[in-house]
Amino acid sequence: MYNLLIADDHPLFREAIANVLAHRFGGGEIIEAGDLDEALLLADNDDLDLILLDLNMPGMDGLNGLIKLRNHAPAVPVVIISAEQNRTTILNAITYGAVGFIIKSLPKEQICAALEQVLAGSIYLPPEAVRLDSETQVRPRKEQASAITKEMLLSLTRRQLIVLEHMALGESNKQIAYNLNISETTVKAHVSAILKKLDVTNRIQAVLSAKDLEFKSVY
């Protein structure tokens, strides 16, 4: 069961995507926002597993709205769902903290598969973005990851390091909570602290920063 926030200014689209998600991920709660201010307010929900965010709704100002939302709720993954298909926009959205970019015109089965991929802890990009030169695609995230020092990693508490290790395994917040026998709210608090201490904007960047870390030797 997943709790999802759909932030889009078109009521018919929100209704359509909510019906698709309820059918595929039944049992959770789906809440809706029609502009960025409402999305920021609803993002305070500690039980949220994922935010679906439209780039062009009121208050967004393009990717600036994404940055505001990531700063406001850093522990909640954000997926852009948009009619926009510009490659630069797609890659910049990932650089600025989104964990996926879904084009609205995709068939519903592909949308659901993309969301399942994200909820499993992976990142999703449209095929046309994946086909970009690999160096162009990953350079922004590599540059951010390389700026993380050993001292920053050592500033994490033992519990935060354990959570980061599980993040590196691709586990979702729910999976980490189950495996560590702690609440999902506690996991989200740890994730938020990890992102802040490592000075990154999303869990993908955090995992990249620690990809060569021998966790057992640290804690």
Domains and CATH numbers, the chain: 4-132 (3.40.50.2300), 141-211 (1.10.10.10)
Burial class of 217 by CB neighbour count within 10 A (0 to 12, 13 to 18, 19+):
exposed
Q: Taking all residues of the chain, what is their mean pLDDT, rounded to a whole number? A: 83
Distance CA 159, CA 149 (A): 19
Burial label for 213, CB within 10 Å (0-12, 13-18, 19+), is middle
Are 133 and 121 in contact by the 8 Å Cβ rule? The answer is: no
The pLDDT, as a whole number, for residue 216 is 54
Whether residue 125 has pLDDT greater than 90:
no
CB neighbours (10 Å) of residue 167? 23
Question: Which range (29-33, 34-38, 97-101, 124-128) has the least confidence?
Answer: 124-128
**What is the pTM assigned to this prediction?**
0.68
Q: What is the pLDDT of residue 211?
A: 64
pLDDT tens digits, 81-92: 999 888 888 888
Max CA pair span of the chain: 52
43-52, 112-121, 174-183, 201-210: least confidently modelled range = 201-210
